[in-house]
Structure 1
Amino acid sequence: MQNRRDFLKKAGMASAAAAGTTALATPYVHAQSPIRWRLQTYAGAALAEHVVKPAIDAFNKAANGEMEIELYYADQLVPTGELFRAMQNGTIDAVQSDDDSMAAPVDVSVFGGYFPFATRYSLDVQALFYKHGLAEIWEEAYGEVEGVTWLSAGSWDPCHFNTKEPIKSLEDLKGKRVFTFPTAGKFLSRFGVVPVTLPWEDVEVAVQTGELDGIAWSGITEDYTVGWADVTPYLLTNNICGAWVGSFFANSDRWNEVPDHLKQLFRLAMDSSHYYRLHWYWAGEADLRVNGGKMELTTIPDAEWATVEAEAEKFWDEIAAEGGRKERVVQILRNYRSLMQKAGPPYRYG
């Protein structure tokens, strides 16, 4: 009997100690600081409200205190052209941008943003990346760069000109000072356009002061959303690309520190962001052309615009001639275009 009493006494003490340990351990786990990231987008505040903020807000809520992402807008922490280096050295943890604008030191960066006539519709981007092999090429390219992990690509809007004066012919483009993306600007300079680089937030004022004659950075949805429709009363319906290609990136060390379940949650948030933009832009591009009321639509005749498309073929050849992954990407773009043309409507018309 004495042995039983001693056993029960010791067992009770052990159970109490275990319970105490559990009681102490649980608050400790919940009290630990969440993982905190700073993510900077290429977009200004008004545009970011649509292209990234809903997804980040949803992630933060779903992460339930385990992780929190602080969102910063264009040039808020570092200039857009320095985003890659800032992420690489850990000044910021993640980025939403195109490869081209942030000067990513990879050979495929030329295809980020607006590569002339690479796409016709927004869905082309997702199809090219996740069905036709571009995602694997991007992973390969960034796998060779220390400190940065490419995570996911998606599509934005088509690239139109919005200008202070109407554009009705290629001659009207000559000498126009235009805010645009690096590769798009390089291509457009063949038609007399003068590409201008400015901080995103300065663009509207630059149009008003005469520093800029127009913008080739977006479709009509963004023109209305960010206020450019108030200072550029004309929209050229011809576009040089059907969708902007942008991606999410992260500092590799910070990404590797994230538990697998939060990585998966962030991937779902990125997919949510991609999906939101698909319907937001698609609906806006049509509705605002018809019902916007602020911008007059102009068009360069098809026969004349065909010379721009022909010049894009030469541009593709020049990029492909540099070899390596660039040649592989251009070949994928050509194969995809051929497939869409053979498929016919609604994939391609004419």
Structure 2
Amino acid sequence: MERRSFVKHAGLAGILAAGSAPAVVMAQQSVRWRLASSFPNSLDTIFGAANIFAQKVKEASGGKFEISIHAAGELVPPFGVVDAVQQGTVECAHTAPYYFFGKDPTFALGCAVPFGMNSRQMSAWMYQGNGLKLMREFYANYNIISFPLGNTGAQMGGWFRKPIKSLADMKGLKMRIGGFGGKVMERIGVVPQNIPGGDIYPTLEKGTIDAAEWIGPYDDLKLGFYKVAKNYLYPGWWEGGPQLDLYVNQKAYNALSAEYKAMVELAASHAHINMQAMYDAKNPPALKELVGKGAKLQGFPKDVMEAAFKASNDLYNELSASNPRWKKVYTDWAKFRNDDILWFRFADNEFDRFMATRKFT
């Protein structure tokens, strides 16, 4: 018999007689958490994933486990969520791990680094490879346990005031670029700016920066970048499959019952898949609309891609020589990426390449 139905019909005396009271009581304890997001609430995709997570936890617990969601800046600054979770100021946070590469570059491997994995490969490394295990070992240094919670899929390369015809056009550009990708951009002559999502448009509009990247067509359309910069480049080679994470304070997590721990894990994985689905469904019509509004699509020139690829690998080798935490995770990450790329080369890539050249009725 289903547990809740049993409780309702048997009554407390029957439960006690059956000797099952402790488990039932534990599962029905009321828990209230606060989640600090790194994202503005205007974005129903990336911010909305946290809402979906909280909704599923509440539903699964019959309303006993509630998580309130707070947009960037409401409780803590968008880039202050790691400190807040680590110190127990909030119980959990939803963020992009690469925002915190300044603390340790290893954070970025839990999200995305230039010329890394796509979203499927990243999920495979996390759930079926050593990714989740290795990143949790790393996050333990910050009193955090992590759960994958969303992936945008491959991103666009951003909005530029002027066309980019060669690597020379990148020199000296002030560009908003989040996370670890800025370190590589810097090596090819760009001046990276780490600006929260909600502050990008006014900065670009005022001309304080020359270019900006966020995610892709759906969010970019809502944020209005096409109004102040028309050249829309692709691909976002620094974010082939950026994974977002749910960061949970270790003490708060340990205090949960086994049932509630399972709810957190399952709700996070549901929201993880749902975010990718939302972007894949919403980006195509948004891209058409952006082109209709004057956006000029342009691929990055080959010399930009080649220079960025070389700079990325040089940086990874330097970090492996100087940072033991990075080396431990990167060695496993790189092997998994290389093996999966070999497989995708013969399957998905060839299928996608053929389909992209077809005309459909």
- Name the TM-score class by shorter chain: 0.7 to 0.9
List gaps (5 residues or longer) in structure 1.
1-17
Gaps of 5+ in 2: 1-12, 354-361
AA aligned opposite 2:30: P
Q: Which residue does the alignment assign to 1:263?
A: 261
Higher alpha-carbon deviation: 262-271 or 47-56: 47-56
Distance in 2 between the 1:137 and 1:257 partners?
23
Contact 1:38 1:93 in 2 (8 A): yes
Within 2, Cα distance between the matches of 1:46 and 1:58?
Answer: 21
Query: C-alpha offsets along residues 228-281 of structure 1, whole Å, 9 cap, x if unaligned?
Result: 344432210132231212211111221122222122112111111111122222
> Is the contact between residue 168 and residue 299 of structure 1 (CA under 8 Å) also seen in structure 2?
no
Where do 1:2-21 residues align within 5 Å? none
Identity of aligned residues (%): 23
Q: Are 2:157 and 1:156 aligned?
A: no
The 1:154/1:262 distance shift into structure 2, 3 A limit, reads: same
| Cα distance change, pair 261–104 in 1 and its aligned pair in 2 (3 A) | farther
- Partner letter of residue 122 of structure 1? S
Distance 1:38 1:278 in 2: 24
More divergent stretch after superposition (51-60 vs 182-191): 51-60
Structure 2 CA distance for aligned equivalents of residues 345 and 44 of structure 1: 40
Which residue matches 2:140?
143
Give the length in aligned residue pairs.
324
Letter in 1 for 2:334: R
Tell me how far 1:97 sits from its aligned partner. 1.1
How many Å separate the matches in 2 of 1:338 and 1:235? 29
Q: CA deviation at 1:49?
A: 4.8
Question: After superposition, where does 1:86-125 map in structure 2 within 5 Å?
Answer: 86-102=84-100, 105=103, 108-119=106-117, 121-125=118-122
Partner of 1:318: 318
2:43 is aligned with 1:42: no
Q: Which moved more, 1:312-321 or 1:161-170?
A: 161-170
TM-score by length of 1: 0.82
The CA deviation at 1:137 is 0.5
CA contact (8 A) 2:154 2:235 kept: no
Matched, 1:300 2:300: yes
Distance in structure 2 (CA, Å) of the matches to 1:321 and 1:173: 29
Please provide the CA RMSD for this pair: 2.9
Q: Distance in 2 between matches of 1:264 and 1:157?
A: 26
Question: Residue type of the partner of 1:261?
Answer: E
Deviation at 1:348, TM superposition (A): 4.2
Query: CA distance change for structure 1 residues 63 and 232 in 2, over 3 Å: closer, same or farther?
Result: farther
The 1-side partners of 2:342 and 2:108 are apart by: 27
The one-letter amino acid of 1:346's match is A
Deviations 1:104-132 (A, max 9, x none): 8556213244311112x221210121222
The one-letter amino acid paired with 2:309 is: E
Between the aligned partners of 2:90 and 2:47, the Cα distance in structure 1 is 20
Give, in whole Å, the separation in 2 of the partners of 1:238 and 1:57.
33
1:84 aligns with 2:85: no
* Residue 198 of structure 1: how far off its partner (Å): 3.0
Deviation at 1:33, TM superposition (A): 7.9
Letter in 2 for 1:148: I
Whichever residue aligns with residue 46 of structure 1, its letter is: S
C-alpha distance in 1, partners of 2:264/2:102? 22
* Cα distance, 1:151 vs structure 2: 3.0
